[in-house]
Structure 1
């Protein structure tokens, strides 16, 4: 039987630290800190609910991060 794969490690980084930053600055910082996928979304966007290891989501209002969460 094949071994169970180990998911990649997520950056030890709090999404709360991105709230209030300029969206482009926040994305650059997230990539520098090891997030493999950074997704900027408008308020109220309809998104899928699957959890993706290594993904950081931003809700962007008026060019600034209003909310950030993993997955």
Structure 2
């Protein structure tokens, strides 16, 4: 049986700390903390649910991060 692959490490970062920040500030902070992909989405955007290591997602409404999750 083949060994299970080890997923790449993600930055050790609290996603809740981004909620309430301006989108530009959140993106800058995420890049400074080592996220390789930063994705800002408007509310209700249809997205696929595949997990991508190193990606942080922001739901942005009115220029402010309302929700944040990884993958």
Instruction: Supply the RMSD in Å over aligned alpha carbons.
Output: 1.4
Query: What is the match of residue 17 of structure 2?
Result: 17
Instruction: Supply the distance in 2 between the matched residues of 1:10 and 1:56 (Cα, whole angstroms).
Output: 10
Query: What is the match of residue 37 of structure 1?
Result: 37
Query: What is the match of residue 48 of structure 1?
Result: 48
Q: TM-score, normalised by structure 1?
A: 0.91
Unaligned runs of 5+ in 1: none
Question: Secondary structure of the equivalent of 2:66?
Answer: strand
Give the length in aligned residue pairs. Answer: 70
Q: TM-score, normalised by structure 2?
A: 0.91
Displacement of 1:12 in angstroms is 0.4
Unaligned runs of 5+ in 2: none
